[in-house]
Chains A and B, each alone.
Chain A
Amino acid sequence: KAGVTQTPRYLIKTRGQQVTLSCSPISGHRSVSWYQQTPGQGLQFLFEYFSETQRNKGNFPGRFSGRQFSNSRSEMNVSTLELGDSALYLCASSLVFPDLSKESGNTIYFGEGSWLTVV
Chain B
Amino acid sequence: LAKTTQPISMDSYEGQEVNITCSHNNIATNDYITWYQQFPSQGPRFIIQGYKTKVTNEVASLFIPADRKSSTLSLPRVSLSDTAVYYCLVVGKSGSARQLTFGSGTQLTVLP
Q: Give the interface of A toward B (CB within 8 A).
A: 4, 6, 31, 33, 42-43, 45, 48, 55-56, 88, 90, 92, 97-98, 100, 103-104, 106-113, 115
Task: Check A108–B41 contact: CB distance below 8 A.
Answer: no
The answer on a CB contact under 8 Å between A113 and B49 is no
- A9 CB to nearest chain B CB (Å): 9
CA distance A112 to B36 in the complex (A): 13
Which residues from B are CB-within-8-Å of A100? 30-32, 91-93
Closest CB-CB distance, B68 to chain A, in whole Å?
14
In the assembled complex, the Cα of A4 lies from the Cα of B44 at a distance in Å of 11
B30, B32, B44, B51: which contacts A90 (Cβ < 8 A)?
A: B44
Question: Could you list some 27 contacts between A and B, CB below 8 A?
Answer: A4-B43, A6-B43, A31-B98, A33-B100, A42-B104, A42-B105, A43-B44, A43-B102, A48-B98, A56-B97, A97-B96, A98-B91, A98-B93, A100-B30, A100-B31, A100-B93, A103-B49, A106-B91, A107-B34, A107-B49, A108-B89, A108-B91, A110-B46, A111-B43, A112-B43, A113-B42, A115-B41
